[in-house]
């Protein structure tokens, strides 16, 4: 059997990884380099920090970010917005939480397992601090955490220079840059086609440099799925910097800034802008790291579904895997494994994740 994976971000890399483990002939079509769409990320493996998007609370948070100049709105997929408004505050079914919990624990386990096999991607299980500037905000965050279906372990801790932090001991982090290098080694031997896929019809992928065929096609092209699904882009920035600062991974909850200390650099990420553009922003200063020099700077686009839950289903010979928004790395292993199982016909569907369909005819990517 042969499978073509279109899009080599974190979801496509994991899909190819699990297919390869099964001895399947894999072709990966990626318009840039492997990991291109995902490498900017902070690398926090934090599936328990999942947020529903289609809630009044989340919309209010976005307006608050806009008012404070933290976020800008340049372009939104209208279909995404209309689905968000149509389902505003609608509770997802219980099975949606069951599958998310299953995917969360699978993903956490898989990163740990891969690091036990070879400790070469900066994996650390030291947990995550969500840092707050006031006691009221900590109290609100605790109340919110108590309502979370994930029931993850969380403690209130002191955090120097701040009112305090919520500490999630079960969470981990990786260096996204080193992880992409690891995946390049894991995927050594698969056929890599460096080309933009324009459209998919049945199991044939039309690319800039000709047709690529397989028995099944998995589409994991992130925001370029906006043309066929209610996916919109939320852009953010990732800088690798040298300097001095926090020795634990921390998120400034009210600013949306994450700082992750790694062996040879810090990763600083921020930004949640409704924007499909490629422009970079200058480095966001923050109290967690004093920057001496910049190693490199990238930006990326979170592929967000209207409710924040992933979209993962099979129709005919096509599997679609996307929609993880700000948690693509956190759910990447599960997305890849579950997409591979759909491609191999080991499962027909995953409850709730197949809530959107595909129209008939050629699928033209954006
Ligand atoms: C600033 C920032 C920080 C983040 N931090 C975290 C974090 O700490 N933890 C976490 O879990 N998540 C994080 N995320 C979210 C995470 O990066 C995304 O959810 C993830 O990248 C989505 O992965 P994906 O594979 O679905 O899509 P993408 O990463 O967008 O990958 C899609 C790939 O497809 C390729 N492609 C697109 N169109 C085509 C085409 N037509 N033909 C061929 N190839 C194509 C692209 O080049 C790209 O490589 C962060 C995001 C941002 C912006």
Per residue in 144-189, pLDDT tens? 999 999 999 999 999 999 999 999 999 999 999 999 999 999 999 9
Determine whether the shortest distance from the Cβ of 122 to ligand 1 is under 6 A.
no
With a cut of 70, list the residues of the chain below it in pLDDT. none
Determine whether the shortest distance from the Cβ of 11 to ligand 1 is under 6 A.
yes
Per residue in 36-71, pLDDT tens? 999 999 999 999 999 999 999 999 999 998 898 888
pTM given for the model: 0.98
* Whole-number pLDDT of residue 71: 84
Residue of minimum CA distance from atom 15 in ligand 1: 326
Q: Where are the domains of the chain?
A: 2-125+172-364
Distance from residue 164's CA to the centre of ligand 1 (Å): 31
Determine whether the shortest distance from the Cβ of 305 to ligand 1 is under 6 A.
no
Is the CATH number of domain 2-125+172-364 3.40.630.30?
no
Question: Counting atoms of ligand 1 from 1, which one is nearest the CA of 269?
Answer: 1
Determine whether the shortest distance from the Cβ of 323 to ligand 1 is under 6 A.
no
Distance from residue 8's CA to the centre of ligand 1 (Å): 9
Question: Counting atoms of ligand 1 from 1, which one is nearest the CA of 42?
Answer: 8
* Whole-number pLDDT of residue 70: 81
* Whole-number pLDDT of residue 283: 96
Residue of minimum CA distance from atom 22 in ligand 1: 328
Pocket test for ligand 1, best of 304, 326, 327 (most atoms within 8 A of CB): 326
Phi-psi region of 216 (alpha: psi -120 to 50; beta: other; left: phi over 0): beta
* Whole-number pLDDT of residue 125: 97
Residue of minimum CA distance from atom 51 in ligand 1: 41
Outline where 162-290 has alpha helix (H): 176-186
Which of 162, 165, 169 has its CA nearest to residue 108? 169
Distance from residue 36's CA to the centre of ligand 1 (Å): 8
- Token pair 């010979």 is at which residue? 317
* Whole-number pLDDT of residue 288: 97
Distance from residue 88's CA to the centre of ligand 1 (Å): 25
């Amino acid at each position: 059997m042969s499978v073509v994976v279109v899009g080599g971000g974190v979801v496509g890399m994991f899909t190819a990884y699990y297919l390869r483990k099964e001895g399947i002939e894999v072709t990966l079509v990626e318009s840039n380099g492997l990991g291109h769409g995902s490498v900017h990320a902070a690398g926090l493996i934090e599936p328990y920090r999942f947020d529903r998007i289609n809630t009044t609370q989340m919309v209010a948070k976005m307006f608050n970010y806009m008012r404070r100049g933290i976020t800008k709105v340049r372009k939104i997929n209208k279909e995404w917005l209309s689905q968000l408004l149509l389902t505003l505050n609608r509770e997802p079914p219980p099975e949606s939480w069951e599958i998310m919990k299953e995917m969360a624990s699978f993903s956490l386990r898989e990163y740990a397992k891969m690091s036990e096999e070879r400790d070469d991607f900066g994996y650390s299980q030291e947990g995550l601090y969500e840092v707050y500037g006031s006691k009221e905000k900590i109290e609100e965050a605790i109340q919110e955490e108590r309502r979370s279906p994930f029931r993850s372990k969380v403690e209130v801790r002191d955090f120097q220079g701040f009112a305090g932090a919520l500490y999630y001991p079960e969470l981990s982090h990786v260096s996204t840059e080193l992880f992409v290098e690891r995946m390049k080694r894991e995927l050594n031997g698969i056929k890599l086609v460096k080309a933009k896929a324009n459209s998919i019809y049945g199991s044939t992928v039309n690319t800039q440099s000709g047709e690529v065929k397989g028995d099944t096609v998995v589409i994991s092209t992130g925001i370029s799925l906006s043309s066929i699904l209610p996916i919109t882009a939320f852009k953010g920035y990732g800088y690798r910097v040298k300097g001095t600062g926090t020795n634990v991974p921390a998120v400034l909850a009210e600013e949306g800034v994450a700082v992750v200390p790694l062996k040879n650099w810090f990763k600083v990420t921020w930004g949640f802008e409704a924007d499909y553009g490629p422009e970079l922003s200058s480095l966001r200063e923050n109290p967690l790291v004093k920057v001496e020099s910049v190693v490199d700077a990238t930006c990326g686009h979170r592929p967000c579904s209207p409710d924040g839950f992933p979209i993962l289903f099979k129709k005919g010979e096509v599997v679609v895997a996307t929609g993880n928004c700000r948690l693509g790395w956190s759910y990447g292993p599960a997305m890849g494994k579950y997409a591979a199982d759909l491609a191999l016909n080991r499962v027909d569907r995953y409850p709730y994740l197949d809530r959107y369909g595909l129209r008939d005819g050629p699928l033209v990517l954006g």
